Amino acid sequence: MTSTDLVPFMMRRPGVPFPPPEYEGFRTKPGLTKAALPSGETVWLVTRHEEVRAVLTDPRISSNPTHEGFPRPSRTVGAPSADDVPGWFVSLDPPDHNRFRKALIPEFTVRRIRALRPAVEQIVDHAIDQMLAKGNTAELVEDFSLTVPSLVISALLGVPKVDRDFFEEKTKVLVTLTSTDEQRDKASEHLLRYINRLITIKSKRPGDDLISKLLQGGLLTPQELSGVSMLLLIAGHETTANNISLGVVTLLQQKQWIDDDRMIEELLRYHSVADLVALRVAIEDVEIGGQLVRAGEGIVPLVAGANHDPDMFERPDEFDPSRSATGHVAFGYGVHQCLGQNLVRLEMDVAYRGLFRRIPTLEVAVPLEELRFKYDGVLFGLHALPVRW
Ligand code: HEM
């Protein structure tokens, strides 16, 4: 195969609906599709629902970036390993990965997350108060969608209220595409230093927060806890923000609100923002969808492809809030399935209820064609969402 036969890794999404039209072609041809990363490396793309789930549960396929051939989306950017950042457990395979899940799962159960509802409602209400105080227009991504998850995660970790502005400012720098590498490095250094200080304080004066509970649980070292805190912060910030913003656009377009969990699941399936997140490498030869993948070859299971597979979901490119989207893989699948998914569902629910109840005349302030979508990042979303009421 010559390099001109390869499809480019970052495919343009056409806006709404999703995903890139190329996925359909990949799905209907036998085997897998080989793609070129901007770094020059090649990977296998997996788009069918059944095969995406098979990849994400196969022990011969690894999440560890220290393995030869692990995909690096660009020449300079690669996923950190748990050797680089102790506690970065998304990059570990079982059995090393198990200890982290065991320590964290009790903090993310439906019951634990439900108890956070009043705190999340307060955060959402405050963000809306601030938007309303500024007049009758806002830029929703900056003023709401990025603010809410950042404040929620800081509340969860036990960041004192007085420090939340600092925390929010630094996390925004980390996930904003327009930040320079230098700004991002500096923000990350400040946050890490802050988190380490917080861990020291909580070890002396524990509170009713995640860091204190994990310290008391004794399963993780303070150094690992610092990496875990950074992972939660990064994994849960822009992902949730993109979902909230895209959901607002879709719900306003639909002009329909189904007041139950099905709507949230359908939004997650339909948008599938973390399409390019679950990178993998084969550590043994393995056959996927009739395709031999050799040890050392990179694999990218495309969750947007799987979530728009007509063999799994009827009329997959249609947003249908009354369907059951159960079985979608927007949060991945298998041992690495998103730890924060119950929190995301809560944040989306509280965010939409708050926005549409308190601002019933909310509308997108520009024609849909003028919205700037993030076609070029690892996550799908909106750069900005001008709204008015
Ligand atoms: C893992 C998506 C929000 C924490 C994942 C994975 C996906 C995902 C696809 C699997 C990665 C893989 O298999 O390699 C999303 C989406 C979100 C979201 C679409 C928002 C809409 C959050 C939030 C948190 C979080 C709010 C935390 C508060 C994590 C963690 C992992 C993870 C820690 C790694 C789990 C592990 O390796 O065991 N997420 N995520 N995510 N997510 Fe999320």
Confidence (pLDDT) at 200? 96
Query: Which residue is closest in CA terms to ligand 1's atom 2?
Result: 331
111/341 Cα distance (integer angstroms): 13
List, in order, residues 6 or more apart from 185 with CB less than 8 Å away. Answer: none
pLDDT(183) > 90? no
- Which one is predicted more confidently, 168 or 33? 33
pLDDT of 258 = 74
Write out pLDDT tens, residues 355-381.
999 999 999 999 988 888 887 667 888
**pLDDT(16) > 70:** no
Q: Grade residue 1 by pLDDT with cuts at 50, 70 and 90.
A: very low
What is the CATH number for 353?
1.10.630.10
Domain count, the chain: 1
Please identify which residue in the block is written with the tokens 């909230």.
244
Q: In sequence order, what DSSP letters do the residues of 27-69 get, joined into one string?
A: HHSSS-EEEE-TTS-EEEEE-SHHHHHHHHH-TTEE--TTSTT
Answer yes or no: is pLDDT of 20 > 80: no
Has residue 66 been placed in a domain?
A: yes
Taking residues 144-168, what's their average pLDDT? 90
Which residue's alpha carbon is at the smallest distance from atom 42 of ligand 1? 338
**Ligand 1, CB cutoff 6 Å, lining residues:** 63, 89-90, 101, 153, 231-232, 235-236, 239-240, 243, 273-274, 277-278, 303, 330-332, 336, 338-340, 343-344
Q: Are 376 and 16 in contact (CB under 8 A)?
A: no
Domain for residue 2, yes or no? Answer: no
The answer to whether residue 1 sits within a structural domain is no
Comparison of pLDDT for 201 and 74, the residue scoring more: 201
**Residue 99 in this model has a pLDDT that exceeds 80:** yes
Assess contact for 44 and 33: CB atoms under 8 A. yes
Average pLDDT, the chain: 90
Rounded distance from Cα 337 to ligand 1 centre (Å): 7
* 47-93: pLDDT as tens digits: 999 999 999 999 999 999 999 999 987 666 667 889 888 999 999 99
Preceding peptide of 30 cis, ω within 30°: no
Question: Domain span at residue 195?
Answer: 7-388
pLDDT at 3: 43
- Assigned token pair, 78: 């690669």
Index of the ligand 1 atom closest to the CA of residue 279: 14
Give residue 233 CA to ligand 1 midpoint distance, Å.
10
pTM: 0.94
Q: Is this complex scored with an ipTM above 0.85?
A: yes
